[in-house]
Chains A and B, each alone.
Chain A
């Protein structure tokens, strides 16, 4: 099976540790993962802001970079959702049958990390060790756009040393929403403040999610409040073992 890592532009530029964690984790599970260097972005920032024409060359780059792989794995529910549900819209708008065909071949092969682990590899215990109290925020696109269900929770519950505590109002949006966070900054902050309050109420040391974008928003707020709570991507917890707990949390 030829497996590609879709690291996402956001993780690439801002959270490279998450991509490294996916590589470590998949190798440990016996999967050799490629990083197609031609990849850039899923085009979601353009699509969700209404710039569909601008999204066309980005989607074209995406399908060219990932052509021919059996599975494309990404540590982002949001970008997986974008690739699966929005690339077709962009291609149709471009009126380019070849692009539409390429999208139809690529999109269904995109898996969010927890889907790939549970559905394709058939594992829930990935041999991780993470001795901390953790609360899980199921990001909206993971939850509703691609429907990861309880896969991340099952993976977390199998992590040795980890205590998972319930997040009140977990299914409610954190207020990030891409450009919404800036275009409607006041509303975004009001939503984020409530999410941050719920996180503090759990008493957890760590907030985990499958999307660094939401974590950056809530984490940025927790940091401003000096709450002392760390945000860690799901991949980094799953990659952690007794030999290598991530530096940021150790």
Chain B
């Protein structure tokens, strides 16, 4: 099981391949539609939802403003509670810390609570290289892991799979890594969940070491918080002797009180539930109860880079609810894999460039993987203005190429457009030329829009083909608005208007 996003193509190519998969599009449209409606219903129940969003954004923002201070406080309180705190600058450091802890306990396997941070650093693959098997215990993560697949959604990693596919994966793969699936397995959700439960129980009871992430880390009390739905998280957090929690440094919340809006915003935004089934908190070691050794790995891995970006910083407010994925029309069509990262969708399109830095073709394609429709900002529980950050990052991508010896065709086109559009006389001249082209099309073209306006059908050439592959293009009118205004003094001298037949 070594699936990885490394070497993924840029978004437009990956999207094209995904769009060709009709089963995937069907699965995604169904799943995102269902969860979107559910979220909308439970959010509508909360009268002060906007106030709650503001409060949630304020808690996370205040944590980011003084992040260094809150992190030091967190280290102090966790240490006082008996936990060992480690600092990791990047994925390699974090993975090495976890592997060392497992080896210190002679563990050749660990059980895992679903965690985006460990996905991000490729912990499972890194542990496998050390001969340590990491078992995912979240149902969807188990499906992805058994299928040697990649997660395609933050909350529902196997959203791209349907029930029949999951049955196939369980029947084929479970026996090789533990308790086999029952031979009479059906594709009923409860039956599939039952098989996963039996398969996982063995692993929970055997494992000495568990690995988790955290949804929140409270600095004043040294408390980590995990929010989940299946109870597998609670088993991992309480049964094994040793617990290692890998926590992104942006998860810090200064006070316990600050959790209040966040724990109300998260379940409604993510699963469309009023409250999530399990909320677990742990603060170091309690003698004789639960893990007797607790390690917390505080992970940077590009977060301080994002923090240094004035506009992009707000992305670190993200509480990984995935509401933006579920409303995004782009995500709904192409799915998560096209984004080439464990963080897909609108938030992934900004988090990846912010954390990794721009300059790589795959990363640079992500800020453009959006129509800027704004649906993501509308649902974001902590008010991350994703469209604003997308545009900001597009500028960073463009600026990164300003020194190119040979400018891209797009850059030349934009420079030309800016030259034309900064002077009305130049624009009028271009419109006159396009009007001539329009006349030719009107005379010789065969395509007509309803209402009679001439149009261009399929045209070869890079930009034109991209548009006209599936869309007719109206012919330019013979006379622009400004030419009409000047000719008729704004319609005052030409009430009959002879230029008919070329409206929209």
Chain B residues lying within 8 Å of A203, measured Cβ to Cβ, are: none
Residues A183 and B372 in contact, CB atoms below 8 Å apart:
no
Chain B, residue nearest A222 (CB) = B450
| Contacts A141-B374, A191-B329, A230-B451; A247 near B12 (Cβ below 8 A) | no
Q: Is A202 an interface residue (CB 8 A)?
A: no
Nearest CB to that of B15 among chain A residues?
Answer: A187
Cross-chain contact of B470 among A37, A172, A219, A221 (Cβ < 8 A): A221
- Convert A106-147 into 0s and 1s, putting 1 for each residue whose CB lies closer than 8 angstroms to a CB of B: 000000000000000000000000000000000011011100
Closest 8 CB pairs of A and B: A177-B371, A50-B394, A220-B471, A248-B451, A173-B373, A17-B503, A144-B374, A57-B422
If A9-B427, A40-B423, A236-B503 touch, whether A189 touches B15 (CB-CB below 8 Å) is no
| With known contacts A190-B19, A247-B501, A228–B450 Cβ distance under 8 A | yes
Quick check: B19 and A181 within 8 Å, CB to CB? no
Closest A residue to B330 by beta carbon equals A187
| Cα–Cα, bound, A212→B504 (Å) | 8
Please, what's the 1-or-0 string for B359-374, where 1 marks a CB less than 8 Å from any CB in chain A?
Answer: 0000000011111111
- Extra contacts besides A15-B503, A45-B417, A185-B466 (7): CB < 8 Å: A20-B481, A40-B423, A48-B394, A173-B373, A191-B371, A223-B471, A223-B472
Contact partners of A66 in chain B: CB under 8 A? none
Does B405 sit within 8 A of A, measured CB to CB?
no
- List A residues at the B interface (Cβ < 8 Å): 7, 9, 11-20, 23-24, 33, 35, 37-41, 43, 45-52, 54-55, 57-58, 60-61, 65, 86, 89, 93, 140-141, 143-145, 171-173, 175-193, 212, 215-217, 219-224, 228-233, 236, 246-249
Are B424 and A39 touching (Cβ within 8 A)? Answer: yes
Per-residue 0/1 for B174-198: is the Cβ within 8 Å of any A Cβ (1 yes, 0 no)?
0000000000000000000000000
Tell me, rounded to whole Å, the shortest Cβ–Cβ distance linking A22 to chain B: 10
| A contact residues around B421 at 8 Å (CB) | 9, 40-41, 43, 58, 61
- The reply to whether A47 and B368 contact each other, CB–CB distance below 8 Å, is no
Bound form: Cα–Cα A18–B11 in Å: 36
26 sampled A-B residue pairs with Cβ under 8 A: A9-B421, A11-B481, A12-B480, A14-B477, A20-B484, A20-B497, A37-B424, A37-B485, A39-B424, A45-B414, A52-B398, A58-B421, A61-B422, A61-B423, A61-B424, A173-B329, A180-B371, A184-B11, A187-B334, A191-B333, A220-B473, A224-B472, A231-B504, A246-B503, A248-B453, A248-B503
For the complex formed, measure the closest distance between the CB of B445 and the CB atoms of chain A, giving whole angstroms. 12
User: How far, in angstroms, from A48 to B368 measured CA to CA in the complex?
Assistant: 9
Interface centre among B12, B367, B378, B470 (most CB of A within 10 A): B470
CB contacts (< 8 Å) of B466 on chain A: these are: 181-182, 185
Contacts of A184 in B (CB 8 A): 11-12, 15, 330, 368-369
A19 contacts B371, C-beta separation under 8 Å: no
Report how far A28 CA is from B387 CA in the complex, Å: 38
Interface residues in B417-435 (C-beta closer than 8 Å to A): 417-418, 420-424, 427, 430-431, 434
Say yes or no for B241: interface residue by CB 8 A criterion.
no
Tell me the B residues contacting A by CB distance below 8 Å: 11-12, 15-16, 19, 25, 329-330, 333-334, 367-375, 377-378, 391, 393-399, 410-411, 414-415, 417-418, 420-424, 427, 430-431, 434, 447, 449-453, 455, 457, 463, 466-467, 469-474, 476-477, 479-482, 484-486, 490-491, 497, 500-504
- Nearest CB in chain B: distance from A247 CB, A: 5
CB-CB under 8 A from A60, the residues of chain B are: 422
Are B491 and A46 in touch, CB under 8 angstroms? no
Indicate whether A51 sits within 8 Å of B398 (C-beta atoms), given known contacts A40-B427, A177-B373, A248-B451. yes
- Give the CA-CA distance A67 to B373 in the complex, in Å: 30
Residues in A whose Cβ lies below 8 Å from that of B447: 223
Knowing A58-B422, A186-B15, say if A20 contacts B370 (CB, 8 Å). Answer: no
Contact status B504-A248, CB under 8 Å:
yes
A181's nearest neighbour on chain B, judged by CB, is: B467
Distance A8 CA – B394 CA, assembled complex (angstroms): 23
The residue among B333, B373, B377, B485 with the most chain A CB atoms within 10 A of its own CB is B373
Q: How far is the CB of B10 from chain A (nearest CB, A)?
A: 10
A188, B333: Cα distance in complex, Å: 10
A189 to B473, CA, bound (A): 14
Asked whether B504 lies within 8 Å of A233 as measured between CB atoms, the reply is yes
Taking a contact as CB atoms under 8 Å apart, the answer to whether B485 and A217 are in contact is no
A9 to B397, CA, bound (A): 26
How close is A193's CB to chain B, nearest CB, in angstroms? 7
Contacting pair B333 A190 (CB below 8 A):
yes
Residue of B nearest to A249 (CB): B451
B2 to chain A, nearest CB (A): 29
Q: Kindly state the separation between the CA atoms of A14 and B467 in the bound complex, as whole angstroms.
A: 16
CA–CA, A17 to B470, complex, Å?
Answer: 25
Residue pair B481, A16 in contact (C-beta under 8 Å): yes
Bound Cα distance A178, B466 (Å): 13
Q: Is the CB of B450 within 8 A of A229?
A: yes
Please state if A20 and B491 are interface contacts (CB–CB under 8 Å).
yes
**Which of A55, A224, A249 gathers most chain B CB within 10 Å?**
A224
Roughly how many angstroms separate A3 CA and B422 CA in the complex, as a whole number? 22
User: Contacts of B330 on A, CB cut-off 8 Å?
Assistant: 184, 187, 191
Nearest chain B CB to A82 CB, angstrom units: 11
Residues of chain B with a CB closer than 8 A to A246's CB: 503
